[in-house]
């Protein structure tokens, strides 16, 4: 933290002299010079004069190393990374070197190996990249020092770690590791190690006080409001009991305004604030600052300020964003007022422990924040106007220049960046334009931009972009803008805004780059298994489902699906659905997955259908033991039936929309779909079809039974009246209902603009359903029947001299034409009504499958009829051109009829004798017979057989898809009462037994199946002994160790042998030679060097 107090305990960590004091003097290191070859002695002596040979733990000032040494250190670091197969391998090499440096320090390595190795690599990389700038280097060293406050960092330990890193680089780089590089690495590691010690000595107590008192205040708030709910993914401290509210307790805590005001008589009628936010608001009002809008802005981010007090970069970022927000405030801002209210509120919330140390610590915190804000207040508006003017002044040529030069300079600063920017030039130009746009938007909407940049940073985590590229990108952009303008205000505005954007993105990438995301980027199941193996058992699922940075989050599972890393996604799903158990708890990722991604079924159906079977298999548990030839099977289908609001889940609808006949037949889908059908949907569906069956019965009576009653009964007045009543019922009850439904669905599609284009014609979307299209055709047929109804046409002509005259007659001469049309239309309507009744076949899967097979092969029959029609037309026209005397083939109509009869084998065989007299005719007919009967008919049989074989395997699946669609539609009519009763009958809240006396997990149903149905000999639950605490990772799986461990062991053994060989080569030979010293030569403290401790570790 930066401070301007004169006392060293309040400002020593980042104190800088106002008069620009000289850089830290670098002392001579004679021992390093002795290690070089004789011909390099003079050069080494010059370099040693610029080295920091000892750990600087008494002071902590900015240091500027010579440019050639900085370049050499950065070059060796880049060479070291380039020689490793991957960044993970480089991290593993560093970890192994440090871990093996001294066995006595191995107890410090408490963090899991993959996590710790990545942190070491990133930490050293950040230090190396900051070496050329004293200010950022100091901030980096200070920030890392804050992160090591819980460790006992000492000069000997720093020396051990320093020597281990230098030895590793020397061994890996060999001749590339020059004397300058060695001096630079020793110097920078001494400087950083000294910073760790200095920060711990001077700031450890203050940070602990701030953290403890802030936690106390937050615990009171959580105890009153949330009953101990955790904050964020990392969880929160346990909640204390409710705070005592009497006034004497408040007075003991100090003399804060909030405590005094609430401890008086008003305390009886006024609700005492128990959160820092409420207490701050109350005290601000009491002290006369209630109308200060700017205080609310500070209060919103104050938690971020406090929690990031040990992270200088994050604290500066928060203050920069806060300054942008305060830039829009037009009134006066007096920052010390916030400090007064803050201290008063904290005294009231931390009454027991508050003391002088708390006053000093919190004052120190706010004074540093105040200094950062004062340096920026008033500037954002000026910078915004300058930057806006610069952007508006850009011409098309200057914009193109900016685009080209930006990437030209970026690739010059970071050549490795060319491997990441693989897109087209137009895409790169678009990115450059967005960067310029972001710089001005950062001034206008800082809060929104922070959220948007966090989301963008998380996407870059998925892209695998390295944080090291953002610095060169920002530098290149600033250089280009500097060359395009003479206005220093515009240049500074662009530089400051883009630097803040870059810092936010880098921070997001660093926080979001977990080992799980790295496994996703590499699409390696092995890497994923190793990554999640170190996760706490209580958070193992969340590691694969949620990475949160600020207010934004990303799902590693979804990113694996989106990026095409399907093998990793498959491994994640398998791991989530493994049931693991210790003595106290069962751990099963089903609930975590569906709570984080309730639409997971839809996502997999759309983007990764091959993963659906894996997910469905994970919802099944089978016992490996049987009782009475029966086996327990648990189906955890809760999240497939109900959503988080306990309403009908859309999982079945998504599965039906996928139209996959195989996944719909999965036993899990079958189980929950049959539950819905048998207990709810089937009755409702049957009730909905009863009315249609009633209208069909009435239609049959009026059209097919009453008109054909024998013995003249059809002409009686009673039958006529009954016929009229039946037909009116059809027109009103059936046609009217069809009209209502058609209008309703058409209106819905028009409102949602759901139209399907077929060629140039656009039709409503609901007509894509065969059933709905059939209802539309039926409505049109009934409407035509109504228009041609003979009873209506004879209504005014019922009396007269014609047979059947009388009331409701249909036989009047005026209706003769309409009666013929009516009869034909009635026939088609009758057939269509019966066809629409075939949806009742879903009550039987076997019958439904048969009907679907018939529908499928019907297309082959249509092709046959089309070919037959073509041949009939061809031969009938050709034969009609003959001069034949046969009456059967006189013209095209006669020829067509005769050929059709021949094709359908309805032709009278005697007629062939008539054609024998005309040779040409008999030849033409014979060719037709051969083509149709001998070829087309046999081809039809073959096509139907092939089509049947194709659909036979999936015909039950298609039948279940049909039933699933009916279930989804029918469930819309289920009342909440029926649904709640159905859910209660399933008992999803009841824990299911795994075995007798072994109470397992809730959220499913248990069935008993034949023991031989699915033979299972292995327990599906992975059980572990040992500690049962949720923070402990699961012990390593033996199979994983066998799969993954051998390669790692051989790699480590190979490196150890290489180190031993290197050391043996450096020992003095028998014939005499130049002795090379390692370890203690870097400083006076040499007992912890690699050379001194390697024998112990090996």
Confidence at residue 982, expressed as pLDDT on a 0 to 100 scale: 93
Average pLDDT score, the chain? 80
Residue 494 confidence (pLDDT) above 80: yes
Q: Are strands 579-581 and 1021-1023 parallel, antiparallel or unpaired?
A: parallel
Question: Does residue 729 have a pLDDT over 90?
Answer: yes
DSSP code of 992?
P
E strands in 193-270: none
**Above 70 in pLDDT, residue 258?**
no
Instruction: Answer yes or no: is pLDDT of 246 > 60.
Output: no
Asked if residues 1081 and 35 have their Cβ atoms less than 8 Å apart, the reply is: yes
What's the mean pLDDT in 653-671?
Answer: 92
Q: Is the pLDDT of residue 219 over 80?
A: no
Between residues 270 and 213, the one the model is more confident about:
213
Six-digit token string for 845: 């899967």
Residues near 1009 by Cβ (< 8 Å), separated by ≥ 6?
A: 630, 631, 633
- What are 864-883's pLDDT values in tens digits? 899 999 999 999 898 888 87
What secondary structure does DSSP assign to 500-534, as a single string? HHHHHHHHHHHHH--HHHHHHHHT-HHHHHHHHTT
List of residues 6+ apart from 396 with CB closer than 8 A: none
Smallest CA-to-CA distance from 703 within 637, 782, 624 is with: 782
Q: Which residue has the higher pLDDT, 811 or 548?
A: 548
The residue-averaged pLDDT of 174-197 equals: 88
pLDDT, average across residues 934-953: 85
Closest of 462, 347, 471 to residue 409, by C-alpha: 471
590 contacts: CB under 8 Å, gap ≥ 6? 576, 577, 618, 619, 636, 639, 1003
Q: Answer positive or negative: Cα dihedral of 528, 534, 538, 543.
A: negative
User: 806 or 1064, which is more confident?
Assistant: 806
Residue of 486 and 351 predicted with greater confidence: 486
Looking at the predicted structure, is the pLDDT value of residue 621 above 90? yes
pLDDT surpasses 60 at 260: no
Name all contacts of 677-681 with Cβ < 8 Å and 24+ positions apart: 677/963, 677/967, 679/982, 679/985, 680/970, 680/971, 680/974, 680/978, 680/979, 680/982, 681/966, 681/967, 681/970, 681/971, 681/974
Q: What is the pLDDT of residue 613?
A: 94
Q: 1068 pLDDT band (50/70/90 cuts)? A: low
pLDDT confidence of residue 713: 62
pLDDT of residue 16: 33
Give backbone dihedrals phi and psi of 246, rounded to 5 degrees, phi first.
-75, 155
Q: What is the pLDDT of residues 848-859, one digit of tens each?
A: 888 888 888 888
Q: Is the pLDDT of residue 1024 over 70?
A: yes
Q: What is the mean pLDDT of residues 304-332?
A: 86
Rounded Cα distance between 521 and 464, Å, is: 6
Calculate the CA 435 to chain-centre distance. 25
Q: Look at 887 and 342; give whichever has higher pLDDT.
A: 342
Q: Please say if the pLDDT value at position 1091 is more than 80.
A: no
Confidence of residue 1047 (pLDDT cuts 50, 70, 90): low
Report, in angstroms and rounded to the nearest whole number, the Rg of the chain calculated over CA atoms. Answer: 42
What span, in angstroms and rounded, lies between the C-alpha atoms of 758 and 760? Answer: 6
Q: Which residues pair with 632 in a beta bridge?
A: 1008
How would you classify the pairing of strands 755-758 and 993-995?
unpaired
932: phi then psi, degrees, rounded to nearest 5: -75, -50
List C-alpha distances in Å: 453 to 434, 503, 529: 12, 10, 31
* Cα angle, residue 20 at apex, residues 14 and 22 outer, rounded to 5°: 95
Is residue 103 pLDDT above 90, yes or no? Answer: no
How far is the C-alpha of 745 from the C-alpha of 773, rounded, in Å? 11
Say whether pLDDT at 35 is over 70. no
DSSP state letters, 908-949: -TTHHHHHTT-HHHHHHHHHHHIIIIIIIHHHHHHHHHHHHH
For the residues of 19-40, what is the DSSP string, one character each?
T-PPPPPPBP-HHHHHHS-GGG
Query: Is the predicted pLDDT of residue 206 greater than 70, yes or no?
Result: yes
Pairing state between β 586-587 and 993-995 = unpaired
Looking up tokens 């899967």 gives 845
Of 329, 479, 484, 315, the closest CA to residue 413 belongs to 479
pTM of the model: 0.72
Least confident of 439-443, 456-460, 592-596: 456-460
Query: 636 Cβ partners below 8 Å, 6+ apart?
Result: 588, 590, 619, 620, 621, 1001, 1003, 1004
Average pLDDT over residues 409-414: 91
> What is the sign of the dihedral through the CA atoms of 438, 442, 447 and 453?
positive
Residue 945 has pLDDT above 90, yes or no: no
Query: Given a cut of 80, is residue 1090 above it in pLDDT?
Result: no
pLDDT band at 1002 (very low <50, low <70, confident <90, very high): very high
Q: What torsion do the CA atoms of 690, 694, 699, 702 make, to the nearest 10 degrees? A: 170
Q: What distance in Å separates the CA atoms of residue 750 and residue 764, rounded to the nearest whole number?
A: 7
């Amino acid at each position: 933290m930066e401070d301007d107090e004169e006392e060293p305990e309040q400002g020593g960590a980042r104190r800088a002299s106002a008069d620009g004091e000289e850089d830290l003097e670098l002392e001579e290191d004679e021992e390093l010079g002795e290690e070089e070859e004789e011909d390099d002695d003079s050069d080494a002596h010059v370099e040693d004069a610029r080295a920091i040979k000892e750990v600087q733990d008494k002071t902590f000032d900015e240091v500027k190393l010579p440019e050639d040494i900085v370049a050499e250190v950065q070059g060796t670091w880049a060479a070291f990374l380039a020689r490793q197969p991957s960044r993970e391998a480089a991290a593993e090499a560093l970890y192994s070197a440090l871990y093996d440096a001294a066995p006595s320090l191995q107890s410090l390595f408490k963090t899991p190996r993959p996590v710790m190795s990545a942190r070491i690599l990133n930490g050293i990389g950040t230090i190396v990249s900051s070496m050329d700038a004293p200010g950022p280097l100091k901030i980096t060293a200070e920030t890392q020092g804050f992160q090591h406050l819980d460790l006992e960092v000492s000069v000997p330990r720093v020396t051990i770690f320093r020597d281990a890193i230098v030895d590793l680089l020397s061994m890996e780089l060999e001749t590339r590791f020059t004397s300058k590089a060695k001096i630079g690495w020793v110097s920078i590691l001494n400087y950083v190690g000294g910073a760790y010690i200095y920060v711990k000595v001077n700031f450890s107590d203050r940070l602990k006080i701030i953290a403890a008192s802030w936690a106390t205040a937050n615990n009171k708030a959580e105890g009153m409001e949330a009953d101990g709910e955790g904050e964020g993914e990392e969880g929160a401290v346990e909640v204390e009991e409710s705070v005592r509210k009497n006034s004497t307790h408040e007075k003991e805590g100090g003399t804060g305004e909030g405590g005094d005001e609430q401890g008086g008589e008003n305390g009886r009628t006024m609700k005492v604030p128990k959160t820092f936010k409420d207490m701050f608001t109350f005290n601000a009002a009491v002290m006369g600052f209630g109308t200060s809008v700017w205080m609310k802005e500070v209060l919103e981010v104050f938690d971020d300020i406090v929690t990031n007090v040990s992270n200088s970069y994050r604290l500066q970022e928060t203050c920069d964003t806060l300054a942008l927000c305060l830039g829009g405030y037009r009134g006066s801002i007096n920052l010390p007022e916030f400090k007064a209210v803050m201290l008063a509120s904290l005294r009231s919330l931390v009454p027991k422990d508050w003391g002088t140390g708390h006053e000093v610590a919190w004052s120190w915190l706010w004074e540093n924040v105040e200094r950062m804000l004062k340096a920026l207040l008033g500037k954002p508006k000026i910078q915004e106007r300058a930057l806006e003017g610069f952007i508006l002044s850009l011409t098309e040529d200057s914009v193109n220049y900016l685009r080209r030069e930006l990437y030209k300079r970026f690739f010059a600063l970071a050549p490795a960046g060319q491997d990441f920017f693989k897109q087209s030039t137009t895409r790169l130009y678009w990115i450059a334009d967005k960067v310029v746009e972001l710089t001005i938007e950062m001034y206008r909407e800082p809060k929104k931009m922070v959220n948007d940049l966090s989301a963008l940073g998380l996407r870059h985590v998925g892209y695998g972009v390295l944080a090291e590229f953002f610095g060169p990108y920002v530098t290149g952009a600033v250089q280009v803008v500097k060359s395009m303008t003479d206005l220093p205000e515009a240049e500074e505005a662009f530089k400051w805004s883009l630097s803040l954007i870059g810092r936010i993105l880098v921070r997001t990438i660093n926080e979001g780059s977990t080992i799980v995301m790295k496994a996703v980027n590499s699409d390696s199941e092995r890497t994923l298994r190793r990554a999640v193996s170190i996760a706490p058992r209580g958070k193992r699922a969340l590691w694969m489902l949620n990475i949160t940075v600020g207010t934004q989050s990303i799902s590693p599972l979804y990113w694996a699906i989106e990026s095409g890393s399907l093998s990793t996604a498959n491994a994640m799903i398998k791991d989530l659905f493994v049931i693991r158990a210790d003595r106290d708890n069962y751990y099963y990722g089903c609930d975590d997955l569906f709570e984080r991604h309730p639409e997971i079924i839809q996502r997999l159906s759309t983007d990764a259908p091959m993963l659906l079977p894996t997910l469905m298999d994970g919802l099944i548990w089978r016992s490996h033991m049987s009782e009475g030839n029966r086996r327990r099977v648990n189906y955890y289908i809760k999240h497939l039936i109900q959503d988080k609001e306990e309403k009908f889940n859309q999982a079945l609808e998504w599965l039906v929309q996928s139209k996959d006949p195989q996944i719909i037949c999965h036993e899990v889908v079958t189980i929950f779909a049959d539950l819905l059908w048998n207990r709810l949907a089937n009755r409702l569906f049957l009730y909905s079809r009863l009315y249609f069956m009633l209208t069909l019965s009435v239609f049959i009576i009026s059209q097919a039974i009453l008109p054909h009653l024998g013995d003249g009964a059809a002409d009686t007045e009673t039958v006529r009246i009954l016929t009229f009543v039946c037909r009116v019922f059809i027109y009103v009850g059936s046609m009217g209902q069809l009209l209502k439904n058609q209008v309703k669905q058409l209106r819905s599609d028009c409102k949602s603009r759901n139209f399907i284009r077929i060629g140039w014609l656009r039709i409503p979307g609901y007509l894509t359903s065969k059933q709905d299209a059939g209802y539309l055709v039926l409505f049109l047929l009934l409407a035509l029947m109504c228009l041609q109804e003979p009873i209506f046409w004879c209504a005014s002509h019922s009396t007269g001299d014609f047979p059947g005259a009388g009331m409701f007659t249909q036989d009047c001469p005026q209706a003769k034409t309409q009666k013929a049309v009516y009869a034909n239309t009635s026939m088609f309507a009758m057939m269509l009504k019966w066809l629409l009744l075939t949806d009742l076949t879903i009550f039987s899967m076997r019958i439904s499958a048969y009907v679907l097979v018939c529908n499928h092969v019907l297309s082959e029959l249509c092709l046959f009829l089309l070919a037959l029609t073509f041949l009939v037309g061809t031969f009938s026209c050709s034969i009609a051109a003959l001069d034949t005397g046969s009456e059967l083939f006189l013209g095209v109509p006669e020829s067509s009829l005769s050929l059709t009869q021949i094709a359908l084998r309805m032709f009278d065989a005697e007629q062939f004798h008539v054609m024998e007299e005309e040779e040409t005719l008999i030849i033409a007919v014979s060719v037709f017979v051969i083509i149709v009967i001998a070829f087309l008919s046999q081809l039809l049989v073959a096509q139907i057989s092939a089509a049947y074989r194709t659909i036979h395997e999936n015909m039950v699946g298609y039948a279940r898809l049909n039933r699933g669609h009916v279930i989804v539609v029918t469930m819309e009519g289920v009342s909440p009462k029926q649904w709640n009763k159905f859910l209660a009958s399933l008992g999803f809240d009841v824990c299911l037994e795994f075995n007798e006396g072994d109470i397992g997990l809730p959220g499913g149903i248990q069935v008993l199946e034949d023991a031989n149905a699915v033979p299972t000999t292995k327990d599906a639950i992975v059980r572990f002994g040992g500690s049962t605490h949720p923070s402990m990772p699961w012990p390593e799986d033996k199979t994983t160790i066998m799969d993954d461990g051998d390669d790692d062991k051989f790699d480590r053994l190979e490196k150890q042998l290489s180190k031993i060989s290197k050391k043996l080569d450096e020992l003095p030979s028998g014939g005499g030679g130049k002795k090379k010293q390692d370890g203690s030569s870097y400083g006076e403290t040499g007992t912890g060097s690699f050379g001194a401790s390697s024998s112990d570790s090996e």
